[in-house]
Amino acid sequence: MFVTEPFHVRTKYKYPLWSLTRKKNRLLIQTRTYLFIIASNKDKSQVPQVPIVSPNQKTSKPEWLRAIAPERVHSRFRQLKDTVAELGLHTVCEEAQCPNIGECWNGGTATVMLLGDTCTRGCRFCAVKTSNRPPPPDPLEPFKVAQALAEWNLDYVVLTSVDRDDILDGGADHFARTVELIKLVKPEMLVECLVGDFSGNRQSVERLATCGMEVFAHNLETVARLQKYVRDRRANYQQSLDMLREAKKLNPRLITKSSIMLGLGETDLEVKQTMLDLRKVGVEALTLGQYLRPTPQHLNVVEYITPERFDHWKRNGLEMGFLYVASGPLVRSSYKAGEYYMKNIIESQKNIHSYE
């Protein structure tokens, strides 16, 4: 039990102190630290915190966050890497320093990044380079991507892009033409598009939602309270939810998907509410992963979430009605996107709507 000091007591300290009378057991407690002391005895996941940028933070990663070096796994990785370099393409796997690059590429899933390698936004968690005036997109990029995918032995591809606020439609038409060309050369390939928010432009969302993809993905990234600390100021929680709702409304055949990073200071209640908000707008697939700071100039990790806690969120997600939940420390938005269960969901959706 903590007791605050009577107001008449005067000490040399800046804040009031309360001390026990017995010399050997003297206890000096600053009253303004009471809440901190109480909070430190609680589970961090119950206490709201805020991430900061502090280049001096040095924390060792727990054992469960060690990933296999991608160069040491088999030949498919090298084939994809060589083709990407030869055609001048970009992958978010490389640009964002994803820890699962070897596992995904060797498992038959790749994430191609469209519209160049420079983003017009500056989210405080992302390693992709930024500029207010990036180079113009390569008009031949949709053809190059389709050509590369025709050569690769893949059955599932994830297309994503940098944000392009400098383009009128945010690059939606460029994105959609890439999907259409892929379907032209390889109709059986399943395509997931992980897109930005296009500043809430409904026409851009419609162009993409109806271009032939199977999975429409857009990431909330974090809980509502932390949006302003984590994402660029032009992104916001409600705009992202509205976009996911609109995509599903425009094309009910789509699987809609989102992702949340943990370890940025969110509480369990906030994570649960975010998951419920996603279900309310019809999102069916969810990934949850540990935030890892890419450079000292990015947000600090507030907490490392245990694998057991990620398992807890997977169970919760399935109970809420998500059809697919990938949850783990090294899980990312596109992690094992083409795994067997996800493909089954896509096929089930196709069969349901074929009878309508």
Q: Where are the beta strands (DSSP E) in the chain?
A: 17-18, 29-30, 90-91, 109-114, 156-161, 190-194, 215-217, 255-262, 285-290, 324-327
Q: What six digits make up the tokens of 121?
A: 């936004």
Rounded distance, CA 100 to CA 158, Å?
14
Collapsing DSSP to helix, strand or coil, 206 comes out as helix
Contact 278, 286 (CB under 8 A): yes
Look up residue 307 and give its amino acid: P
Determine if residue 193 is labeled as part of a ligand binding site: no
240 among annotated binding-site residues? no
Listed in sequence order, the residues at least 6 apart from 52 whose beta carbon sits closer than 8 Å to its beta carbon are 299, 300
- Residue 211 is assigned to a ligand binding site: no
Q: Does 126 appear as a known binding residue?
A: yes
| Exposure of 52 in the CB half-sphere (CA atoms within 13 A) | 5
Strand order in the sheet with 215-217: 90-91, 109-114, 156-161, 190-194, 215-217, 255-262, 285-290, 324-327
3 state DSSP class of 158: strand
Burial class (CB in 10 A: 0-12, 13-18, 19+), 334: buried
CA 282 to chain centre: 18
Nearest to 116 by CA among 163, 177, 169, 181: 163
Most distant CA pair in the chain, distance: 84
Q: Are 298 and 127 in contact (CB under 8 A)?
A: yes
Residue numbers in the known binding site for [4Fe-4S] cluster are: 93, 98, 104, 119, 123, 126, 334
Residue numbers in the known binding site are 93, 98, 104, 119, 123, 126, 334
